[in-house]
Chain A
Amino acid sequence: MPKDEDKIAEGSFPNPEVHEKRNFPLVWIVPFIAILIGFGMLFYHWQTQGVLVEVSFLNGKGIVGGKTKIMYQGVQVGKVEQLKLNTDGVTVTAFLRIDRQYKHFAKSETKFWLVKPRISASSIEGLDTILSGQYITFLPGDGKPTFKFTGLENIPLSNENSPGLRIILQSDSLDGISEGSPLYFRKIQVGKVERYELDEVSNKVKIFAYIEKEYKSFVRQDTRFWNISGVKINAGLNGVKIKTGTVASMLDGGIAFDYPYDYSVSPPAQDRHTFELHKDENVAMSTGVEVTFVVRTAEGLEVGTRVMIRGIVAGHVKEVNPKEDLSFVHLKLLLKEKYRNKLGKGAQFYVARPKMGVNGISDLDTIIKGSYIKFIPGEEGQAESIFKDISEVDDADYASGLRIFLKTPVSPTVSSATPIVYKQYTIGQVMETKMDPVTQEILTEIQIFKRFIHLVNESTVFWDGSGLDIKASLSGVKIRSKSIRSILLGAIVAHTPDEHAKSVEEGQRFTLHRNKETALRKGKFFKLIFPDATHGIKETLSSIKYRNYEIGSVDKWNYDMENDEFSANIFIREPFCDLVSEDAYFWLVFPSLNVNGFQALDTIITGSYINLYPGKSKEEADTFVISYRPPLRVENGAKRIRLITGDLGGLKVGAPVSYRKITVGKVIHHELHQDRDQIYIDIAIKPQFKDLINSSSVFWRHQGVDIHASLADGVSMKISSLPVLMSGGIEFDTIEPNAKKIDSSTIFDLKDNYRIAGRNGKRIELELTDAEGIKAGSTKIIMKGVNVGFIEGFSFSKDFSKVIATAMISEYADLLTNEDTSFWKVTPDNSPIGTLFKKTSILVSPGNSQNEKLKFVVNDDPPFGDTSLAGLHLFLESDSLNGLSKGVPVLFRDLNVGKVLNFKLEEDRIVVHIWISDDYRHFVNNQSQFWMSGGITISGGIGGLQVQTKPLTSILRGGISFSSTTSKDAIPVKDKHTFNLYRSFSDLKQQTPGLVVRLKSDELGSLAPGNPVLYRQVQVGKVMGSGLSDDSNYVITDILIFQKYQHLIREKTVFWNASGIDFDWGLFSGAKLKTESLKALLAGGISLATPQESKAGEVVANKHLFELQTEFDEDWKSWQFTKP
């Protein structure tokens, strides 16, 4: 071993290459470079790390050490390294690492603050901080470099060096101004409020605002600032003016400024110039001239009260100061500069109070706006204004003119200052209204302005042109109005028809007419004597009408003391005064309740009026006595018949004369016979009914209450309709229609009642199970709503099991007393005639038989199919009642058009009797289809569930709907037409008419109504129902083949039961499973097949009987039936 080593040591290599061993291996450059890089990085780090700055904040909310950035102009200049609570335990110190390159910002005047999101109406500031987090920013300042700062809580005032303008605004109150509130110049935001403080000395609010540089020049020394915070609502007569600044200023407050005059004159404002912040624009903008007054009272005046010149704000009240002894008030007005030269001679100030003036209702707005000072400008020159009370003001414009008087009706709508208009142009005004001490007339003194005097002459007429012209009647109220001003103020209209008439003198008297019509009218005056009440007839207002057309008016009332009577002067316009002749008839129309109900109801609204019935005479007259009743005119062609009776018995003129309850005439006159024993009653029968009367006619009193009592008949009582009850009436009947005609001399006897009159009634006996609700004498016997008789009395059958009522059939007795006649009782609750009868009645339906019968049984129900109810009566056939009940509605397009009256069970079906109101009967024709629409139809299928409901009432009660086609062959149906009633609409759709065939089978199998009838798996019909044959040996199944497939059924058609599964098992063929359609499989069904045309046989009739095959023959499947 040592040998080896020696060998190496000795350099046993033959030619050893000797490398000089470098004393400094090159590899050492690596750590050197590494150190260099490392130091380089450290240096870089140190350089980028920046300087540490301490900023103390009141609280560290929102500042996160290591996160919160220092931003300046959007550039990140550093980051908060750490946040520490100071030793005082209140403030915090944030250690800010500011990038070295920005360390020059850290100077003593630099202000740091935290930027938080600040959302105000005017701006959203620091919105970016929501996402990026709050950051600290600063406003660079001058000073020595330092590393300790005190942070601000809010954005500081704009930098002292920022180029804008700083101004101070002084205000009494802050009034919604807040930090950041914008400053507007002509709605452009030019600056904002930076802060505000309460000045301790002046107790005023000092608002510091900053104006951006570019708008700096707009702020002059004369600039006026005012507060536009909030909403200013200016309500005046000409509307409500809502004045707001921008939305921002509404919410956030705001200040606007402008100049009272050309701003270029004013020197620009200096920095920190102090301005007054005014309450509003008006106050702010008024400037210039101060006018001082001493007034007795400052009522309605306060600082800020406006001074108006012709409606324009000219200034405002600046000061209101009472004198020391309170005897006077010093009033200092500040007027705008431009009115300086209007304060000379003649200038007047007065407090505006609401006043009716020629120019409208002047100053009415003060009611709303508060009073203001009116300023009438004067000449140029030294101020020598006078402050006046309003009453002292004489409007120079209207000072002189022509004064005339107008005789005014009682209800003048004019008042002082009502304008006089000529062609809608004001030419004068009402001065005052006064009473003539001599004539006791009301005189309106009016003044026509000087320059319009020529418009008025002797032919001028004046009328009240008040704005509102209300014409009211029952047909509506018509209001015609002129301008609101004229409504409020009224107006007197002057009209001069003749321009060349004599001019008027001062003080001349004219009449003020009620309206244009009366003013311009031409006609005649008449005198109407009112022997009785005047019933609301008013002077100038009540009109005279002819055929409801206004032909004149009541002019004036007179009272004659001697005769104690009123008379009215009435005026009738020109063409109509010819109607008034000697025998003209005037009557008063006033609201009254009389025999014919309410009369002249419209006069309740329009007021009473006087009607004229023109006379025929040629003689003229001017005095009439007014009647209170319309003239009993005998219509042309009417028949006048004289009746004679012993006493009048309550009959009044106008009482109706009726024939079988139809009014055919009336009583027109009654008078005492010469021998004072008899009374003649004249009746007039309308022309169209005059032939009803012949020599066989009988007349009797139709008294309101007719009580007839007799021992045998009990008591019969008859109460008539209201008019008859009140004024009585006459009835008549004509026994022999062909009797001799009457002549004018015929006088009929007026009998007391119809029994005496000999009416041919029939007394019948009615058998009742009980007499509940039936009263002798009052229970009526009604046929189709017509009273044909009444129950006279009761007795009992021998065994007391029945009530026997005696009834009097007074009308149509022959018709109603035959074998077929049916009587039934109708109690109010199930009365088909509805609310017409609130009492129990007995209804009668005539029969057709010729055999007379006088004893009847009264049923509780009407006979089935009774058609006494007016309308269309139909029968519907159905297999089940399905929840229908009496009274359920019949609906057409869900409109209630009728109802179910009754139903009855017939062998295999239900027959429903329905009634369709006459109004809707035309909807029913022979194509109509009826189905039960009651309840909820739920149809389920593979496709889902379908729920169909009808209106609630029909859900609850069921109903019958129908639809009608309007095809050509649709013909209206007659009463008692029979329809099929389908169980539901879907049934109907399927059951559109088709062929019904009957299938005979030994047993029913699984068939049920509704099962399909299939042809080649297509449903061509359905099973309707099944039952046993008459001999009970077979089951008969009715199936319906839809019309569409009807042709498939021939004599040789085979039907087989397709229900269930056909399982065919054979030893050699194996098992064969065959089913019909799924539906058939589930529910059962019938299949059919028809052989080819040649073998098919005849077409079958309805209800043809087929055999229902139980065995299926494969051959059938191959049958090819083709439609012929």
Chain B
Amino acid sequence: MSDDKTTFKRACDHGYLRCETCESVYKQDDCPDECDFCGSPIHQRKPENIARAWAFLIAAAVFVIPANIYPISIFEALGNKSPGTIMDSVIYFFDEGMYGIAIIIGTASILIPIAKLICLAYLIYTAQFGKRSRLRHRTILFRGVEKIGRWSMLDIFVVALLSSLVQLGSLAIIFPGAAATSFCMVVILTVFAAESFDARVMWDQGLKNEINGGKNAER
């Protein structure tokens, strides 16, 4: 591992830049501002990625609160409204003995979004301050966060589905509650945060520190 690290060189170290979108590679010297193929702006690193990630992350964190305290869906049967928060449904399914569903919902709708937030915060934080410990693990974590992000919409998907299916007039009707929007926002904003965060930055910093450390060690 240490061998890899010591021989570690970044693209930019070789004078290459890469388009974020279409993965075209340009020489640093004759690099256009925008990709010749896809027209995306080409940066060596995403600009302001730490700040953007923080901004989206905080916004997402703000929405976590209403997403969990407001009802995500409102079930109205015979004029009798029964709103339910995400936690309500988890508890409901748990009470009913459907532990599997309870766990799935609990994980997908509560645990994962929050875990995502925390993980992102950790990643951004460590990247920002150039922590070089467990760089590899953090990268794996970041990939995981990116991957898992889309599954967080499960709850919204269920609510949307039910809302469109259960439209039985005055008999029974389900419509999304305020939390649905908030939850959407949480998920979207975390995706944004993850997107805007440039994982390479943590390597930049980490490498810097490591080189420095290495130098120091060599010295």
Contact = CB atoms under 8 A, between A and B. Distances in A.
18 contacts: A4-B13, A25-B51, A25-B55, A27-B56, A30-B55, A30-B189, A32-B59, A33-B59, A34-B58, A34-B62, A35-B58, A38-B65, A38-B182, A41-B178, A66-B82, A67-B80, A131-B78, A132-B79
Contact of A25 (B48, B62, B63, B79): B48
Contact of A27 (B52, B70, B80, B185): B52
Interface in A53-87: 66-67, 69
A41 B66 contact: yes
A42 interface: yes
B174 to A, nearest CB: 17
B80 A34 contact: no
A81 to B, nearest CB: 13
Which are the 3 A-B pairs with shortest beta-carbon distances?
A34-B59, A31-B58, A31-B59
Contacts of B57: 31
Interface in A14-40: 25, 27-35, 37-38
B75 to A, nearest CB: 12
Contacts of A1073: none
Given A31-B58, A69-B80, 17 more contacts: A27-B48, A27-B51, A27-B55, A30-B192, A31-B59, A34-B60, A34-B63, A34-B185, A35-B59, A35-B62, A38-B62, A38-B65, A41-B70, A45-B69, A132-B78, A132-B80, A133-B80
Interface string B13-32: 10000000000000000000
Interface in B26-63: 48, 51-52, 54-60, 62-63
A1 interface: yes
A267 B13 CA distance: 110
B121 interface: no
A31 B56 contact: yes
Given A34-B59, A132-B78, A133-B80, A25 B52 contact: yes
B201 interface: no
A1045 B178 CA distance: 92
A405 to B, nearest CB: 91
Contacts of B54: 31
Given A1-B211, A34-B189, A42 B56 contact: no
B73 interface: no
B109 interface: no
Interface in A241-274: none
A854 to B, nearest CB: 108
A128 to B, nearest CB: 9
B219 to A, nearest CB: 13
B70 A45 contact: yes
B85 interface: no
B152 interface: no
Nearest to A29: B55
Interface of A: 1, 4, 8, 25, 27-35, 37-38, 41-42, 44-45, 66-67, 69, 131-133
Among B60, B62, B65, B82, find the residue whose CB has the most chain A CB atoms closer than 10 A.
B62
Nearest to B9: A1
Interface of B: 12-13, 48, 51-52, 54-60, 62-63, 65-66, 69-70, 78-80, 82, 178, 182, 185, 189, 192, 196, 211
Nearest to A131: B78
Contacts of A44: 178
Contacts of B66: 38, 41-42, 45
A28 B53 CA distance: 9
Contacts of B52: 25, 27
Nearest to A4: B13
Most B CB within 10 A of own CB, among A1, A32, A42, A45: A1
Contacts of A4: 13
Nearest to B83: A66
Nearest to A33: B59
Given A67-B80, A132-B80, A30 B59 contact: yes
A38 B60 CA distance: 10
Contacts of B59: 30-35
Contacts of A42: 65-66
A31 B78 contact: no
Nearest to A21: B48
Nearest to B79: A132
Contacts of B185: 34, 37
Contacts of A1: 13, 211
A45 B181 CA distance: 14
A67 B81 CA distance: 8
A133 B196 CA distance: 52
Nearest to B53: A27
A904 B65 CA distance: 112
Contacts of B70: 41, 45
Contacts of B182: 38, 41
A69 B178 CA distance: 21
A25, A31, A33, most chain B CB atoms within 10 A = A31
A37 B51 contact: no
Nearest to B47: A19
B57 to A, nearest CB: 8
B95 to A, nearest CB: 15
Contact of B55 (A31, A67, A69, A131): A31
Contacts of A66: 82
A133 B178 CA distance: 26
A35 B211 CA distance: 40
Q: Which of A38, A66, A67, A131 has the largest number of chain B CB atoms within 10 A?
A: A38
A28 B55 contact: yes
Nearest to B192: A30
Contacts of A41: 66, 70, 178, 182
A133 B189 CA distance: 42
Contacts of B58: 31, 34-35
Nearest to A128: B79
Contacts of B69: 45
B135 to A, nearest CB: 18
A73 to B, nearest CB: 16
A32 B52 CA distance: 12
A66 B178 CA distance: 18
B51 A28 contact: yes
Contacts of B12: 8
A35 B56 CA distance: 11
Nearest to A41: B66
A27 B196 contact: yes
Nearest to B51: A25
A1061 to B, nearest CB: 66
Contacts of A28: 51, 55
Most chain A CB inside 10 Å of its own CB: which residue of B48, B78, B82: B48
A131 B79 CA distance: 9
Contacts of A45: 66, 69-70, 178
B41 to A, nearest CB: 12
Nearest to A36: B62
Contacts of A67: 80, 82
A687 to B, nearest CB: 102
A880 to B, nearest CB: 74
B178 A30 contact: no
A397 to B, nearest CB: 75
B63 A38 contact: yes
Contact of B63 (A32, A37, A69, A133): A37
A44 B66 CA distance: 11
Nearest to B185: A34
A41 B60 CA distance: 15
B45 to A, nearest CB: 11
Contacts of B56: 27, 30-31
Nearest to A48: B178
B1 to A, nearest CB: 19
Interface centre among A8, A25, A69, A131 (most CB of B within 10 A): A25
A30 B51 CA distance: 11
A805 to B, nearest CB: 101
B206 to A, nearest CB: 15
A510 B146 CA distance: 135
A226 B205 CA distance: 100
A70 to B, nearest CB: 13
